[in-house]
Every structure is written in C-alpha cells, then in structure tokens.
C-alpha cells in the first residue's frame, strides 16, 4: 500500500536557502542543491523549493538551481513561487522540476490551472492554497483564501476553492494554514480534514509543525496524504529517519 | 564492452531530462531524440511518458514514431517503457474513451475503481486517485530490470490507470492500491514499469543501470 510522504520544504531566495540549514555538515549550508541532495540521502520522499525571489533576475537563478538539483536528486522535486504563465511552467519542467506549484495566479485566473493541466498533465500541477480561519476560535465558521504571502484576503471559501481547483485539473493541493504557519503548535487539522474530505486528489498539509506528533496528527486527524515541514528538519530538531521511525512506530505507513 | 547507445524517445510528452539524467548518474550517456535514424541506430530504446493515453498516441503518430517503435521491438534490442510508456504497449486504453495502443502486448489499460477504501469501521480510509507516491513492489519474476532489486522495494508512482495484460505470464511485479495491479512487465526484449525508475531514488537508478547493461 501507498506510503504517506514526508516532504521538506526549502525557501529559496536568489539561489540561496533562506537562513540555511544545520541538520548535516555541508560545505555550503545555504546551497539549495547540496541541501536537496542531503535530504534525498536522508530518506525524504520528495523535496519542495519555494522561490521567494522578488526580481526577474532571481527567477532565472531558480532555473539553474533546479537544473543542478535534477542532476543529483532522483526523487520528485516540486518548485513553487512566482509561477504566473504557461511559459514559467514549461521552463521549470524543462529545467528538471517534476511538479510546479501555483498559488496567486490560480486565484487571479482559475482558468490558468485548467490550461496548465491540459498542457502538461495534472500530475505536475500542484495548487498551493493559503487559508485562514474566519474565526480563530471556531473552525465551523470556515476558512478564507489569502494570497501575497497571507497579506491579501480574497473573499473565497477555502474548502470550495480546493474542490474547484481539483475540477480545474490540479493534481495535488498544498494547503497552508496562515493561522498556524510559524507557530510550531501543529497543523490546523480541522482545515486539513475538511479539505481532504472533499478532495479525491492528494492533500499535502503545511504550516505549524514543531514536534513529530504534529506530523502524525496531520496524517491521522487531518487525513493528509503527505506532510510538508521546514524548520524542524532544517535545524536538525529531527532527522527524516527519526521522523519515519516515529511515524512507523505509531502505525503510519512510511517508506523506509 | 562498447558502451550502449541509449535513445530516449521524445514525442513532446514528459520530463525526459530526468530519465536522461538518471542514466547519466549511473554512468551511461543517453540521447533524447525523435529521429528515426538515431532510434534505429540505438542499442537500447526508452519510451517514457506522462499525460493522457490518447494524447501520447496522437503525438507518437504525429511525429512518425509508431513505425520506429515497432521496428525496435521486432529487432530484439532492449526496450523500456515507463509509466504511460508502459501503458501504450498494450492493445487499448480506456482513458477519456477507448483508444488504440501500440498493441505490442495484448491487454487493456483501465482506471482504478471509484470509491476504493481500505480498513474497517472507524479506521476506514478512502483511497485517492491518482495513485501518487511511494508504494512497494511484489516481484513475481526476476526481470532483467530487477537484477539488483529485492522484494518489497519502494518505487514512485503517479497514475490513475493501470495495465491489465491478457497473458499474465508477462507480469514481472505487482503492487497493491485497493486492487492488485501490474507494476512491471517483461516479455522477451521488452520491459516496462508503471512507476518512474528515474524518480525512485537508488532502487530506480539501479534499474536504469541494469537496463543499460542488459544484452538480449
């Protein structure tokens, strides 16, 4: 049977990993290529790059990073950030990305997702959704979609949105809780479960991991198919091997 | 030993570079090509593929590659189909209607059933389609691809359809996702995988290496 996936995520700015990593001895702890290779070696199931470059020059840099990564890493590589048109997707896939994440551009033009999945196949189109509770105390009030790194409310219901994105041809949904992101107190699993229940494509949970139990909760309570995390892996709080051993010990099927 | 001349058939579909880079990683150069002469001159030929069955067949036809593929298979040189490249080997596929395949292996390509579940009671789990991620192989025959592979190896899959060969003796590996499905086949000089060896980490790379070193 299918394993649940553990996905480390790297924020890349102008070809460098923001804040670097300290989980392993690297010649250059800010080099995304070396870090991705180290995660592959450590047993990660996929690697995700989030390109947070602010300029066009920075966008070209990510293509080089992807090219070099693809020579060394033979697990799936997803790249998101700044993907606005079909040509952006083509460039990333040709550089060696396996999947491309689309966020703001999907909200601004949902047809883009249909166009992208028709052109390249659903399997490489990941729609990234940033969602925030309407009422922090009560998940029953639902979640709203945000863009621009969580600064701009879009007046769209997140659960309806993920369904719509599936209908448009998304192959996966990467769902980040803006309430939990950076808090280290766990995913918003009410959000994850509500989304997972309406989707027939895989859900990747994101935002809020501080402990291994949070990954377990995301997969079990949140019914996510995969879990994405950054800081707990980058700063060596836990290794991928420890993570998998922990999850397997609690009965979660993981690739070992 | 002279190095193999590996041709990866380019028909405008799929991440061909990662297959090429996979061969590169294990020490073999491979050419991405749609030139029938290069394919005819190759010692080893790979048919990769992502996307829909009918689209892929249409592209192969548009690029005049169906003849070269049949000649390659008939010539007896090692031939590897990957993902949709495996599915295309069969008689027909039923993705978005019924479409003819290459008919190199008798059989059909069908969808995973709707509404598959595993577990019982409180622990019942709905299985999503596509089947995307890492799953284990049950090796049923020691295909040339599996030279260095052991039972239960994890491989990376992304697909919503799977092949059902008429002649079950071609099955080389199965995997389980709600149903037992064909994960790999082997018939004479033709091997194929539903999973992506180029994305299956060390296990996958060892299969690319075994393929490059296969002489049949």
Q: What pLDDT, in 10s, does the model give residues B65-89?
A: 999 999 999 999 999 999 999 999 9
How confident is the model at residue B33, as a pLDDT? 96
pLDDT bracket for residue B39 (50, 70, 90): very high
Indicate whether B163 pLDDT > 70.
yes
Q: Is A11 a catalytic residue?
A: yes
The strand pair at B171-177 and B179-187 is best described as antiparallel
- Residues for chain B: how many in total? 216
Q: Which of A44-58, B26-40, B99-113 has the lowest mean pLDDT?
A: A44-58
Radius of gyration of chain A (CA): 17
How confident is the model at residue A54, as a pLDDT? 63
Structure tokens at B187: 């018939």
- The backbone torsions φ and ψ at residue A101, rounded to the nearest 5 degrees and listed phi first, read -95, 135
End-to-end, the C-alpha distance of chain B in Å comes to 14
Indicate whether B143 pLDDT > 90.
yes
**Which of A76, A121, A172 lies nearest to residue B50, judging by beta carbons?**
A121
The alpha-helical segments, DSSP class H, found in A121-204 are 158-168, 189-198
- Give the pLDDT confidence of A186-237 residue by residue, as tens digits: 999 999 999 999 999 999 999 999 999 999 999 999 999 999 999 899 988 9
Indicate whether A19 pLDDT > 90.
no
**Which residues of B touch chain A, with CB atoms under 8 Å apart?**
15, 17-18, 21-22, 24-25, 50-52, 118, 127-136, 154, 156-159, 176-177, 198-202, 204-205
B204 contacts in A (CB within 8 Å)?
74
**Bridge partner list, A99:** A78
Which chain B residue's Cα is nearest to A223?
B125
Q: Do B134 and A3 touch (CB under 8 A)?
A: yes
Indicate whether B32 pLDDT > 70.
yes
Q: Which of A14-18, A56-60, B190-194, B199-203 has the lowest mean pLDDT?
A: A56-60
Min Cα separation B22/chain A (Å): 7
Which CATH number is associated with domain B6-212?
3.40.50.880
A226 contacts in B (CB within 8 Å)?
133
DSSP sequence for A134-152: SSTT-GGG-EEEEETTTTE
Q: What is the pLDDT of chain B when averaged over all its residues?
A: 94
Rounded to whole angstroms, the Cα distance separating A217 from A37 reads 28
pLDDT bracket for residue B183 (50, 70, 90): very high
Indicate whether B44 pLDDT > 80.
yes
Residue A170's nearest CA partner among A228, A247, A81, A107 is A107
pLDDT bracket for residue A29 (50, 70, 90): confident
Over residues A76-102, the mean pLDDT reads 93
How confident is the model at residue A249, as a pLDDT? 97
Q: Which of A28-42, A124-138, B2-16, B152-166 has the lowest mean pLDDT?
A: B2-16
Indicate whether A129 pLDDT > 70.
yes
How confident is the model at residue A62, as a pLDDT? 92
Residue B72's nearest CA partner among B33, B100, B39 is B39
Indicate whether B14 pLDDT > 70.
no
How confident is the model at residue B115, as a pLDDT? 85
Indicate whether A238 pLDDT > 80.
yes
Over residues A137-160, the mean pLDDT reads 94
Q: Do A2 and B198 touch (CB under 8 A)?
A: no
Domain ranges of chain B: 6-212
Q: Do A96 and B15 touch (CB under 8 A)?
A: yes
Rounded to whole angstroms, the Cα distance separating A192 from A220 reads 10
Q: Please, which residues have CB within 8 angstroms of residue A88's CB and are 6 or more apart in sequence?
A: A82, A100
Give the homologous superfamily in CATH for domain A5-249: Aldolase class I (3.20.20.70)
Q: Do B132 and A172 touch (CB under 8 A)?
A: yes
Q: Please, which residues have CB within 8 angstroms of residue A249's CB and are 6 or more apart in sequence?
A: none
């Amino acid at each position: 049977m299918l394993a649940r996936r553990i996905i480390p995520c790297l924020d890349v700015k102008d070809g460098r990993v923001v804040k670097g990593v300290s989980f392993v001895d690297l010649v250059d702890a800010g080099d995304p290529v070396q870090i991705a290779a180290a995660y592959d070696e450590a047993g990660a199931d996929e690697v995700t790059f989030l390109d947070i470059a602010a300029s066009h020059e920075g966008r070209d840099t990510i293509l080089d990073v992807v090219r070099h990564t693809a020579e060394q890493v033979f697990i799936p590589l997803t790249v998101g950030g700044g993907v606005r048109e079909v040509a952006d997707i083509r460039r990333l896939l040709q550089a060696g990305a396996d999947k491309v994440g689309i966020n703001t551009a999907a909200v601004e033009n949902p047809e883009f997702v249909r166009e992208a999945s028709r052109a390249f196949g659903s399997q490489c189109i990941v729609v990234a959704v940033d969602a925030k509770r309407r009422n922090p105390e009560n998940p029953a009030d639902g979640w709203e979609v945000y863009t621009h790194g969580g600064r701009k409310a879009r007046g769209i219901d997140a659960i309806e949105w993920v369904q719509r994105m599936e209908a448009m041809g998304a192959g996966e949904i990467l769902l980040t809780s803006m309430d939990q992101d950076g808090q280290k107190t766990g995913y918003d699993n009410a959000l994850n479960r509500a989304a997972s229940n309406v989707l027939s494509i895989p859900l990747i949970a994101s935002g809020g991991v501080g402990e291994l139990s949070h990954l377990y909760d995301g997969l079990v309570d949140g019914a996510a198919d995969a879990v994405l995390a950054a800081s707990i892996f980058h700063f060596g709080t836990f290794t991928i091997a420890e993570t998998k051993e922990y999850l397997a010990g609690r009965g979660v099927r993981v690739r070992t | 030993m002279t190095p193999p001349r590996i041709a990866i058939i380019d028909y405008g579909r799929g991440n061909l570079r990662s297959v090429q880079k996979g061969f590169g990683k294990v020490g073999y150069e491979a050419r991405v090509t749609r030139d029938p002469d290069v394919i005819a001159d190759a010692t080893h030929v790979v048919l990769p593929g992502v996307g829909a069955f009918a689209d892929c067949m249409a592209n192969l036809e548009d690029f005049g590659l169906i003849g070269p593929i049949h000649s390659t298979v008939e010539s007896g040189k090692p031939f590897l189909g990957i993902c949709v490249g495996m599915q295309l080997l069969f008689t027909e596929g039923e993705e978005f209607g019924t479409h003819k395949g290459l008919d190199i292996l008798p059989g059909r390509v069908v969808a995973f059933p709707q509404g598959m579940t595993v577990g019982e009671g409180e622990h019942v789990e709905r299985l999503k389609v596509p089947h995307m991620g890492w799953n284990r192989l049950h090796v049923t025959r020691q295909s040339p691809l599996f030279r260095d592979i052991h039972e239960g190896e994890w491989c990376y899959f992304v697909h919503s359809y799977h092949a059902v060969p008429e002649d079950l003796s071609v099955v080389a590996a199965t995997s389980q996702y709600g149903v037992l499905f064909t994960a790999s086949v082997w018939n004479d000089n033709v091997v194929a995988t539903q999973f992506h060896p180029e994305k299956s980490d060390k296990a996958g790379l060892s299969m690319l290496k075994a393929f490059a070193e296969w002489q049949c």
